[in-house]
Structure 1
Amino acid sequence: MTEPTDATGTADTKGTTELGATVWLTGLPSAGKTTLANALADRLRAEGHRAEVLDGDEIREFLSAGLGFSREDRHINVRRIGFVAELLASNGVKALVPVIAPYADSREAVRERHRTEGTGYLEVHVATPVEVCSVRDVKGLYAKQAAGEISGLTGVDDPYEAPDSPDLRIESHTQSVQESAAALHALLTERGLA
Structure 2
Amino acid sequence: MNRTAKISRKTKETDITLELNLDGTGIAEIETGIGFLDHMVQSFAKHGFFDLTIKVKGDLYVDSHHTVEDTGIVLGQAIKQALDEKIGIRRYGSFLLPMDETLVLCAIDLSGRPYLNYQAQLTCEKLGYMDTELVKEFFYAISYSAGMNLHIKQMDGNNNHHIVEAMFKAFAKALDEASGIDPRIQGVLSTKGTVE
Query: TM-score with structure 2 length normalisation?
Result: 0.33
Q: Where is the strand percentage greater, Structure 1 or Structure 2?
A: 2
Query: TM-score with structure 1 length normalisation?
Result: 0.33
